[in-house]
């Protein structure tokens, strides 16, 4: 079960010293968006993920892929391949803030996500002021939706 909250971050609010945090280079695309079937390259790791419907909480299953399988499947994706850098920022209570800095078509978009162990933990979480507007319930900020190319989301307000 994936339980996460997502926040829209303004460029001027980004935390200082991002280069000091671990960073992953991610490219992902969607074979299908209903249900969500995603392929992802994270550095040199390749996965196929199936997700159920939902915004705050949903089922998620991951399977490993080879690089060759990823390359074949990437030619079958719908819409855009999403490219981003994900910074892993330690948070209180053993949590991690995953700050996505988008590249390519979504350059200028910044989203912070935090995964939780329970819906209650998610509900009680107090985000940092820099994290901005909570967009968890706004499905247009799901990466599967972004892959369809949503012009009004290309830039953060």
146: CATH:
2.40.320.10
> What are the beta bridge partners of residue 51?
36, 60
Catalytic pick among 30, 70, 106, 141: 30
Please give the tally of structural domains in the chain.
1
* pTM score: 0.90
Q: Give tens-digit pLDDT for 102-127.
A: 999 899 999 999 999 999 999 999 99
pLDDT of residue 132: 94
Question: Which residue range is the domain that position 67 belongs to?
Answer: 2-153
> What are the beta bridge partners of residue 96?
90
Give the alpha-carbon dihedral of 38, 102, 53, 22, to 10 degrees. 80
Cα four-point dihedral sign 3, 153, 88, 30: positive
Residue 151 pLDDT level (bands cut at 50, 70, 90): low
Lowest mean pLDDT across 20-29, 54-63, 122-131, 145-154:
145-154
Active site residue 30: yes
């Amino acid at each position: 079960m994936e339980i996460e909250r997502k926040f829209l971050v303004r460029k001027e609010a980004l935390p200082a010293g991002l280069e000091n945090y671990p960073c992953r280079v991610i490219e992902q695309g969607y074979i299908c968006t209903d249900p969500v079937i995603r392929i992802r390259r994270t550095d040199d790791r390749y996965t196929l993920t199936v997700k159920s419907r939902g915004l705050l909480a949903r089922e998620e299953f991951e399977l490993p892929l080879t690089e060759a399988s990823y390359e074949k499947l990437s030619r079958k994706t719908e819409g855009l391949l999403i490219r981003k850098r994900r910074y892993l920022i330690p948070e209180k209570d053993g949590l991690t803030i995953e700050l996505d800095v988008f590249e390519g078509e979504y350059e200028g978009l910044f989203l912070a996500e935090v995964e939780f162990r329970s819906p209650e933990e998610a509900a009680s979480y107090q985000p940092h002021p820099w994290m901005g507007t909570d967009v968890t319930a706004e499905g247009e900020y799901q990466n599967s939706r972004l892959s369809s190319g949503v012009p009004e989301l290309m830039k953060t307000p």
